[in-house]
Structure 1
Amino acid sequence: MTGPDPRQVAPPHAAQPDHQPTAPFDPLRLCVFATVALLGWVLGPVALLGFSVLAIVGYARARRAGLLRSRCKLGDTRLVLLYLTVLAAAAGVGIYVWID
């Protein structure tokens, strides 16, 4: 079976021949944000430590590969790495207090 997905409705402007049909906006990021928030709520500082260490590893690799500016609001990857390190340290303190 070929052709468009019958479950999707074409936007009104797609019927006009001078416009290219566009795919509808997929709010996947919102789903990702909600999942991260849920994990943060359930796991608390453990989730913060995990996500911050994962981000530190990712940004360190990207910086070694030549990325000097990030799309992150902080811009410079050194500032992003510093921010993530502070978050990881805060998570470590939070875990220590939580266990104690």
Structure 2
Amino acid sequence: MKTLKQTSILTFAIPALLLAAAFFGNLFIEGFNWSLFDFIIAGILLFGTAFIINLVVSSNKSFSSKLIICGIILIVLILIWMELAVGIFGTPFAGS
């Protein structure tokens, strides 16, 4: 059984690894060109999501409630990421 501290470390390690992968991709892959602003926005989105999920996991709700809430949080993250990446909804939020 994992302790709450181990779960928190794992929750925040995943966004750090994703940002590290994006950083090294930016260095070595030709068509991958993120600016500093892109990394800042990605960090805010990923670590903000990890923080909210960590709050949900440490709450006193049932396992099924935690699973549903975390699923909704991840769906919202994916929709925001897609909107910022390609403007799927065509809002000014994505710069379209």
- Which TM-score applies when normalising by structure 1? 0.32
- Which TM-score applies when normalising by structure 2? 0.33
Structure richer in helix, relative to its length: 2
Task: Return the index of the structure with the highest Cα Rg.
Answer: 1
Considering Cα pairs closer than 8 Å and 6+ residues apart, tell me whether 1 or 2 has the greater RCO: 1
